[in-house]
């Protein structure tokens, strides 16, 4: 199988009880690690800062990352039953974002189905008031837990309109259908 270069995406959920639904897709290059994704809302304006949802559009598509010596475990997993990702963001202001991602490979494309549920974000905080401006770069520490699971930890930091940072501790579990 050649490495995937296109994807379809459905990302949906709620933040503080307000629902959203986005559909779209894009392309990626598994040789240089680039990714382009476009989505459109089927429910109007987002109930929170787009930066809460936006990074999840790209940071989950590890199938496009170059890997020394051939296909990555993520590229192999999508063609052998798919894999799931569960990611939890615990923000410094008490907000929590629970993310569930499902990746499969159908018709020559990666299919991504993402559900994001956020709760506890203060109404006047940067997530709900549009106060996030950019996402800082971060590095995840990955380790194998067993033959089907990789776990990752990192700290995400967003710049805010008042020149400060808004941070979240992030725990991620990647589980493939088969070893």
Distance CA 128, CA 118 (A): 11
- Judged by DSSP in three states, 21 sits in strand
Check whether 19 has a pLDDT greater than 90: yes
**What is the domain-level CATH number for residue 165?**
2.40.155.10
* Mean local confidence (pLDDT), 133-150: 91
pTM strictly above 0.85: yes
- In this predicted model, what pLDDT tens digit does every residue of 84-96 receive, in sequence order? 999 999 999 999 9
Q: Is 82 among the domain residues?
A: yes
**Cα–chain-centroid distance for residue 135?**
13
Q: Is 60 among the domain residues?
A: yes
Per the structure, the complete domain to which residue 97 belongs is given by 6-176
Between 166 and 67, whose confidence is greater? Answer: 166
pLDDT range class, residue 74, cuts 50, 70, 90: confident
Task: Answer for the pair 127, 166: CB distance below 8 angstroms, yes or no.
Answer: yes
Distance CA 112, CA 92 (A): 29
Copy the structure tokens of residue 151. Answer: 């776990």
Q: Is 46 among the domain residues?
A: yes
Number of domains comprising the chain: 1
Between 7 and 31, whose confidence is greater? Answer: 7
Q: What are phi and psi of 126, to 5 degrees?
A: -65, -25
* Mean local confidence (pLDDT), 72-88: 88
Q: Is 98 among the domain residues?
A: yes
- In this predicted model, what pLDDT tens digit does every residue of 54-73 receive, in sequence order? 877 766 788 888 888 777 88
Q: Is 1 among the domain residues?
A: no
CA-CA distances (angstroms) from residue 107 to 57, 77, 114?
21, 16, 19
């Amino acid at each position: 199988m050649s490495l995937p270069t296109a994807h379809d995406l459905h990302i949906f959920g709620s933040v503080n009880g307000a629902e959203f639904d986005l559909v779209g897709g894009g392309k990626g290059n598994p040789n240089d690690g680039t990714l382009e994704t476009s989505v459109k809302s089927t429910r109007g304006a987002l109930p929170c800062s787009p930066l809460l949802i936006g990074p999840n559009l790209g940071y989950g598509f590890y199938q496009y990352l170059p890997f020394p010596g051939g296909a990555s475990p993520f590229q192999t997993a999508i063609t052998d039953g798919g894999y799931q990702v569960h990611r939890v963001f615990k923000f410094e202001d008490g907000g929590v974002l629970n993310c569930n991602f499902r990746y499969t490979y159908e018709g020559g494309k990666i299919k991504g189905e993402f559900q994001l549920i956020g709760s506890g974000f203060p109404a006047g905080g940067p997530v709900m008031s549009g106060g996030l401006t950019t996402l800082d770069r971060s590095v995840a520490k990955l380790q194998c837990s067993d033959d089907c699971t990789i776990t990752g930890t990192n700290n995400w930091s967003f710049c805010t309109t008042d020149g400060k940072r808004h941070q979240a501790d992030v725990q991620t579990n990647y589980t493939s259908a088969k070893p």
